[in-house]
Chain A
Amino acid sequence: MSRSDQEGPPRYLKDREEYFSDEQRKRTTVESRKMEKRVRENLRAQKDRPAVMKYFDDIHTYGGIRVKELKEFRKTGGKVVGTLCVMVPFELINAAGARGVRVSSGYYEPVHPANELLGDAGLCPMVKSTIGAKMVHSDPLAEEIDLLVCPATCDGKLKLAEIYEDWAPVMMMNIPRVKTGDTTSRLWMGEIKFLKQKLEELTGRKIKRKALLNEIGKWNDAQAAWGRLLEYRKSKTPPISGQDMMLIAQASQKDEITRWTKKVKDLEKELKVMVRKGLHAGETGAARIMLAGSPMIYPNFKIPSLVEESGGLIVSDELCSGHRIMSDPVMLDERSMSEMLMALAERYFFPCTCPCFSPNDDRIRRMKESIHLFGVEGVVFHTLRGCHLNNLEATKIEMKLREAEIPMIKLESEYDDGDVEQVRTRIEAFVEMIKTRRAFSVKKEGSS
């Protein structure tokens, strides 16, 4: 498995490739596979789950069909580009003839090799898991990438990308973290142009205007389909669970987008039938929850599954691993290359409410709007341990939500099953509180 023939200077770990024993490599792989299977079965056990969802399960399956397809694709000379962030324009990757996959890892086990070698126990577990999986080659999807595009959003990602260079070529993108309009737009536009150039170098073909236009169209189609799915979540008894919605959103960053759109449309038809039959996800009278905070990459569905098992139903989220993947379309004013790139650049940058930006008042505004649209009764704010940006924003958001009389619970989690029961107790109490509140407000309305 040694990749010592890889070009580029050795930085941190390249010469220590053999650091891990075969036994540890094997254990990480086996544990990852087991974990994915467990989570998948847990998802399948949901009541009244649409049949089309099986397709999205398959896309995410460990070493499943998508990995095989990408392998085939690479054999025919195709290039696969890994990303670590929602701010990388997939349209551009596809227009270059490459395929994009998000390789952020949700597996728990690879955290340990990364912990051993990096020696930063306080680092974000998602970063550790992603780099750990690459170190011991335990994630088949991440093994298929020819280039990793990593916007340097936070400290963890910044160093992750740097270390990753020992295993795969990396292109880092400078994120202008202070959002001030014109200057920022120009800086980010420069990064997008650089990405275009890098992609062209990788695939050896120019990104054509028509091709880019075509891809933007496909992704806008996908967004429209996603938008129609969201309408179902607004109903009093949503026919689809929040976990499934997150699964679908994340599938778009692994799958062929046209096929994904088709499947989403199929799902929409199925949901229509389900609504007519009166079937719905979650228990009757479930507390309507919004998920916010740090990303939850499949199979790290600990928090959402706990919420939905404890009598809650996730009706909305503002995660970069959920709704935010699909929340903003590219609107073209003119169709020259540079104008399209600008439209693309601004779509991926300005509406993004990643906590790495300042000022980030848009986040709370968008959350409030979603709370209003989806009838959210409580917010579960999840932060990964070591995610300072989300941790610091959580307090601010909690204060603002308190003004709007929306309860919020903040949960800090590791990539670890150890805290499940503890978190469950807290979530159950939170859900119970929401239901009590509901009864109280009904009484109040009745008496007045």
Chain B
Amino acid sequence: MDRFKGSIIRPWRLLFQFLGVAFLLGQSFGLPPFGTSPMLRTLFLPNASCRYVDTAPTSCFYYQFQDGMTSGASTYYVDVIVVLLIIVLMVLVLGRIWCSWLCPFGLVQEGLAYLRENLNIRPYRLKWAHRELLRPVKYVILFLTVLLSLPIGLSGLGLLGCQSTLALPFCQVCPAKGFFTVSEQLLGLEPWGTALPLLAIVSLLLFLVSSFFVKMAFCRICPMGAFMALFSRFSLMWLEKDVDKCTKCRICLRVCPVDHDRVYEDMESVDVAGSDCTLCGRCVEMCPEEGCLSLSFGPKRLASSKKPGRLGFLGMFHRKEGK
């Protein structure tokens, strides 16, 4: 008899996350078949590649989004609108599933949390008031990015000259830039002594430290997530709650990596995913009430909460302890 309910979703998610990282690295370092495939070269997935690797054939959509805005109004249609439409379409079908199932940032943060857990250090839990303060920050960052990029591209303002200095505002503070520029030098892909982006390295360190102590710290301020959050409430992937079965035990809130309190608080809606849920399914696998929470695609329930003691077939991946 298993004493702790096992993970029915987490192993699957881990698998997808590793595939996501493999895809990112493959894209970035131009490994066949990823980097060289002409079809994949034009694919701007949320962050399946980083422009700051020299061999990268493509970039993340946020780079493309900023770059498109900066490089001039005449190319908006191709460079910005189409890229964004692809992402919006993806979100409408799959919700923010990218965030917790494929995003490499997510895997790194979960790895750090796993490390912390095994060092027996408790997570730092944000207070309710701080969570509320943090909630709009990601939208602010998204807005600032647009605010800084858009005027440069508008030729009438005469700011085209700033293209080289003020372009790509978010990339300058993106931890990924810090990571890839440093690791390229360490791996010898770049000559030693090339100028390092200090700002990005500082934010990389901040990223590592904060997500070691706070679960999914970066996700709370990620502007890519913010963009997806704008549309995720209309998506086909959703988090279903059977309110009648809820015992308000607060497990869903305690285990939620992004402290999405709507799953716990909301006693009226059927869809409790809202815009902040990244659909990681942690609450679904931890909820002890049969069929109370479900990860659903359209009308179909992909995974539902079960009574503890009854495991899905993936229970074998679960760490057994306590005996």
Binary interface encoding of chain B residues 173-213 relative to chain A, with 1 for a CB under 8 A from any of its CBs, else 0:
00000000000000000000000000000000000000000
Q: Is the CB of A220 within 8 A of B308?
A: yes
Q: Is the CB of B254 within 8 A of A328?
A: no
Q: Is the CB of B117 within 8 A of A336?
A: yes
Binary interface encoding of chain A residues 242-278 relative to chain B, with 1 for a CB under 8 A from any of its CBs, else 0:
0000000000000000000000000000000000000
Q: In the complex the two chains form, what is the Cα distance from A185 to B259 in whole Å?
A: 14
Q: In the complex the two chains form, what is the Cα distance from A218 to B322 in whole Å?
A: 8
- Residues of B participating in the A interface, judged by any CB pair closer than 8 Å: 1, 3-5, 117, 120-123, 127-128, 243-251, 254-255, 261, 264-265, 267, 282, 286, 288, 307-309, 321-323
Q: Is the CB of B308 within 8 A of A224?
A: yes
Tell me the A70-100 residues at the B interface (CB within 8 Å).
none
Task: In the complex, identify which listed stretch (A58-66, A169-177, A342-350) lies at the interface while the others stay far away.
Answer: A342-350
Tell me, rounded to whole Å, the shortest Cβ–Cβ distance linking A76 to chain B.
25
Which residues from A are CB-within-8-Å of B122?
Answer: 334, 336-339
Q: Is the CB of A343 within 8 A of B254?
A: yes
Report how many A-B pairs have Cβ atoms within 8 Å: 97
Q: Is the CB of B255 within 8 A of A362?
A: no
Task: In the complex, identify which listed stretch (A31-39, A150-158, A209-217, A425-433) lies at the interface while the others stay far away.
Answer: A209-217
- Given that A331-B286, A334-B123 are contacting pairs, would A365 and B308 also be in contact in the complex, using a CB cutoff of 8 Å? no
What are 24 sample pairs from A and B whose C-beta atoms fall under 8 A apart?
A181-B128, A181-B250, A183-B128, A217-B321, A218-B3, A220-B3, A220-B4, A221-B1, A221-B3, A227-B307, A329-B308, A332-B4, A333-B282, A334-B117, A334-B122, A334-B123, A336-B120, A336-B122, A343-B251, A346-B254, A347-B251, A350-B249, A365-B244, A372-B244
Tell me, rounded to whole Å, the shortest Cβ–Cβ distance linking A352 to chain B.
9
Q: Is the CB of B255 within 8 A of A333?
A: yes
A223: interface (CB < 8 Å): yes
- Given that A333-B255, A336-B117, A368-B244 are contacting pairs, would A346 and B249 also be in contact in the complex, using a CB cutoff of 8 Å? yes
Q: Is the CB of A224 within 8 A of B1?
A: yes
Which residues from B are CB-within-8-Å of A329?
Answer: 5, 288, 308
CB-nearest residue of chain B to A332:
B4
Which residues from B are CB-within-8-Å of A331?
Answer: 4-5, 251, 255, 286, 288, 308
Q: Is the CB of A366 within 8 A of B247?
A: yes
A369: interface (CB < 8 Å): yes
A285: interface (CB < 8 Å): no
Question: Top 8 A-B pairs ranked by shortest CB distance?
Answer: A217-B322, A224-B309, A217-B3, A351-B249, A182-B128, A333-B255, A350-B250, A351-B247
Q: Is the CB of B127 within 8 A of A213?
A: no
Which residues from A are CB-within-8-Å of B251?
Answer: 331, 343, 346-347
Tell me the A345-396 residues at the B interface (CB within 8 Å).
346-347, 350-351, 361-362, 365-366, 368-369, 372
Which residues from A are CB-within-8-Å of B123?
Answer: 334, 339
Which residues from B are CB-within-8-Å of A342?
Answer: 254
